[in-house]
Amino acid sequence: MILKPIIIVSGEPYSTFLEIFFKTLKDKRIKNYKTPILIIGSHSLIVRQMKKLKYSLKIKLINIDKHNLNQLDKNYINILNVDFHFKKTFDKISSKSKTYISKCFKLALRLMSEDKGLALINGPISKKHFLNKKFLGITEYIAHNTLSDGNEVMLIFNNKLAVCPITTHQPLKRVAKNINIKKIIQKINTISIFYKKYLNKKIKLAVCGLNPHCETNEKFSEEDKIIKPAIKILNKNKVNVKGPFAADTLFLNKNIKKYDVIIGMYHDQVLTPIKTLFGFNAINITLGLPFIRISPDHGPNSKMLGENKSIPESLIQSLLFLKKIRAN
């Protein structure tokens, strides 16, 4: 049986992702990884960074024009080359990389649309320079390019606890206007179905309120008018969800042991505590797409480019997670 590969978009060329990728392949937990990996990016850049960081890994160039991925070899770095013209010295992140990153994503999404990949992983990308305000984040960019606008769900996953923000990358002043009953129900249902389908688990969820202590002196209470009605409908449909709870105490150890997933109303309300709890031992999974997309939970970190000090744990956990769901 030919295994579908994991498709990896190498992302921002002036980032630490390739260093993390090399370290991941050398990790003892990945050495016997049976699923082939296809990385989409610049062959010359990959070779250059490998030499810079003193890694010795075998490379195989792949040609997909023949619509055949049988040439992949799990013992090699399989590269689908996208030309990128870089300077002799390491450059800074800028919009000059935009065309290159777009080409990488276009190839990756083509392969996923043709059902040739198990899942899509992308390295970190500078939203400021790549998206140019057209999309809030890469999650929304991929959703748009797979005709999945509005269905996307950001799940920051750890085996002990996962979190999901109802609004993603929204400025705080816009959060209240962008939460509603329908959106909360859709995202929680998507998460519940995902756990059941891929992890064979019926989960317990908790929902944070929007306002401090779930209270407000304003005439309109988001807790009373939006969050509580959504929870009531979900409970009627036999989804095990409770709340709303004040976010400042929900993440205490005695509380998080009761739940599998915590839902927040905005990005930092849930991402700050989960990163405090687990560091880089978490992965960003996008649900609601025609395929599973994972992004390691770290940024480009160009300041550390070439220093060989980056931690690969998030990418390692991404691959281990895909191994787990493949086994299921």
* Beta carbons of 147 and 112 less than 8 angstroms apart: no
Largest interatomic CA distance in the chain:
64
User: Which pLDDT value is given to residue 208?
Assistant: 97
Taking alpha carbons only, the member of 239, 230, 231 closest to residue 204 is 239
Which residues have a Cβ under 8 Å from the Cβ of 298 and sit 6 or more positions away? Answer: 20, 124, 280, 310, 311, 314
- Tokens representing 221 are 């209470």
- The CA distance from 134 to 154, in Å, is 18
* Beta carbons of 189 and 234 less than 8 angstroms apart: yes
Taking alpha carbons only, the member of 255, 211, 207 closest to residue 232 is 207
- The CA distance from 17 to 10, in Å, is 7
Taking alpha carbons only, the member of 126, 292, 275 closest to residue 199 is 292
Length of the chain: 328
User: Which pLDDT value is given to residue 89?
Assistant: 47
Taking the chain (328 residues) in runs of 10, the rounded mean pLDDT of each run is: 84 87 91 88 91 88 71 86 70 78 94 93 86 82 93 93 93 94 98 94 96 87 96 97 96 94 96 90 92 79 66 89 77
Taking alpha carbons only, the member of 114, 36, 118, 123 closest to residue 77 is 36
Alpha helical stretches, state H, 131-180? 138-145, 172-175
User: Which pLDDT value is given to residue 37?
Assistant: 92
Taking alpha carbons only, the member of 10, 289, 266, 267 closest to residue 144 is 289
* Beta carbons of 77 and 46 less than 8 angstroms apart: yes
Sheet containing 261-264, strands listed edge to edge, beginning at the edge strand earlier in sequence:
59-61, 77-81, 37-41, 6-9, 119-122, 293-296, 283-287, 153-157, 162-165, 261-264, 205-208, 241-245
Taking alpha carbons only, the member of 323, 321, 13 closest to residue 156 is 321
Domains and CATH numbers, the chain: 1-152+288-328 (3.40.718.10), 155-283 (3.40.718.10)
User: Which pLDDT value is given to residue 66?
Assistant: 56
User: Which pLDDT value is given to residue 249?
Assistant: 94
